[in-house]
Amino acid sequence: MIEISFFCVIYIKETYQYNRFLRVGDEAELT
C-alpha cells in the first residue's frame, strides 16, 4: 500500500508539472 501511495504522489506531481508546462507553452504562442 505504501508503494502505491508513493507512486500516486509522484504521478500527480508529474502530471501537474506537465499541465503547467503546456499552459506556459500556450501563453507563449498567444504572445
Give kind and range of the element (H or E) at residue 23. Answer: helix 2-30
Residue 7 has pLDDT above 70, yes or no: yes
Residue 28 has pLDDT above 70, yes or no: yes
pTM above 0.85, yes or no: no
pLDDT band of 5, cuts 50, 70, 90:
very high
CA distance 28 to 20: 12
